[in-house]
Amino acid sequence: MCGGRGTRFEGSTEKPLHPIDGVAMIDRVRHALEASRVESIYAAVSPNATETATHLETTDGVEPIETAGDGYVADLVAALERPELEPPLVTVGADLPALCAPVLDRIIRRHGDADASRTICVPAALKRRLGVRIESRLESEPHLVPTGVNVVGTNDQDMTHVSYDPRLAVNVNRLEDAPIASDIASGVRSDPDDPGGRSCA
């Protein structure tokens, strides 16, 4: 998902193209997907992020899907209506630059064959500890924050999965989130779920 307006982000580029340690966020997410068990990669683009769409047109292995740019949920629903996209699917926001293949593979192993959809969340307390703003919460469970990673199942049931992994906790919605994402991606801050303290770097 990379077609949002990024209105809270005040960088000099479109948000998905903002570099984290010299690599555009969209490319970091793409590299994580390519190295994971995900079989095909589609990018939901819109008129709100034309430079991102142009960037992806020159990227091998990614098929752009045009959406209207009416918002994350509306664009996601529109993308999921495409006939080439059949569940189970993993959806990922382009603003998760610390994401990496082991994190995705762990989610796929746990939920990839499930009929129900999964909303992957982190505790609001984890985001506060990391110094990242909380932009939204689950209405039914306000102590949880959606990460932008979802597993779309084959039925209408939607369940919540809670992760304590910082690599899922930093959505770069504002420019000041970028250095925190860089620290997590490079291993300066490690994964408390991982006893070895390994990073994706």
Kindly report the three-state secondary structure assignment for every residue of 21-84.
CCEEHHHHHHHHHHHCCCCCEEEEECHHHHHHHHHHHCCCCEEEEECCCCCHHHHHHHHHCCCC
**Residue at 36 is within a domain:** yes
Interval 25-77: pLDDT, tens: 999 999 999 999 999 999 998 888 889 889 988 888 888 888 888 887 888 88
Answering whether pTM is above 0.85, one says yes
Those residues whose C-beta lies under 8 Å from the C-beta of residue 43, and which sit 6 or more positions away, are 2, 26, 56, 62, 63, 64, 65
The reply to whether 68 falls in a domain is: yes
pLDDT tens string 115-172: 888 999 999 999 999 999 898 898 889 999 999 999 988 887 888 999 999 999 999 9
Residue 159 forms part of a structural domain: yes
| 101 touches 80 (CB < 8 A) | no
Contacts of 19 (CB under 8 A, 6+ apart): 13, 25
Q: Is residue 1 part of a domain?
A: no
CATH number for the domain spanning 69: value is: 3.90.550.10
Residue 198, domain member (yes or no):
no
Determine, yes or no, domain membership for 199. Answer: no
Q: Across the strands, what pairs with 41?
A: 62
Range of the domain at 120: 15-186
Cβ-based neighbours of 192, under 8 Å, separated by 6 or more: 164, 165, 166
**Is 5 a domain residue?**
no
3-state secondary structure of 123: strand
Question: Does some domain include residue 169?
Answer: yes
Short-list 83, 77, 8, 93, CA closest to 43: 93
In terms of Cα–Cα distance, which of 24, 22, 69 is closest to 44? 69
Give how many domains the chain has, as a whole number: 1
> Residue 100's pLDDT is what?
93
Q: Is the pLDDT of residue 197 over 50?
A: no
Rounded CA separation 146/150 (Å): 9
